[in-house]
Amino acid sequence: MKNIQEVFERIEETKQQQRGITAMYKDALDNSPDYQEILDKLKKLKIQKKEIEDQTKAELGSEWDKLDLMKLHIREDKEMLADIAISTLMKGETVKVTDKNKTEYKPVFSVRFRKANEVKQTGEER
């Protein structure tokens, strides 16, 4: 197995190269008049789309508000599900759930690295 530091450094080097190529790509697009024209058209269409969406949401009224509340409940329940799964796993028990079609689901855990001692800012603090 490779050293974790070597793999991390390789990822960082590749990301740096990726950023360079991406910058060149963006510069080329910025200098393309056809691309800029399409961006302007797209911006106008997005505004029209947003107006139609807002009108439809207003027509739905309380049903749309109910949908937002449902999304919040799902997010909270998913967080609770993850907490229960971790607690169950820490006890050494098997973790699995099944849906109404008898399809079995097993948890998937992942590891991410974040800069040490970095405080993540919220949108209000920026």
Which among 111, 103, 107, 114 is positioned nearest to 86, based on CA atoms? 107
Alpha helices (runs of H) in the chain, residue ranges in sequence order:
4-30, 33-60, 62-90
Asked if 77 contacts 70 with a C-beta cutoff of 8 angstroms, the reply is: no
The Cα–Cα gap between 54 and 61 comes to 11
Lookup: tokens for 58: 């207003």
pLDDT at 121: 65
CA–CA gap between residue 93 and residue 85 (Å, rounded): 9
Split at pLDDT 50, 70, 90, the class of 110 is confident
Among 34-43, 88-97, 106-115, the range of highest mean pLDDT: 34-43
pLDDT value at 95 more than 80 = yes
- Does the pTM surpass 0.85? The reply is no
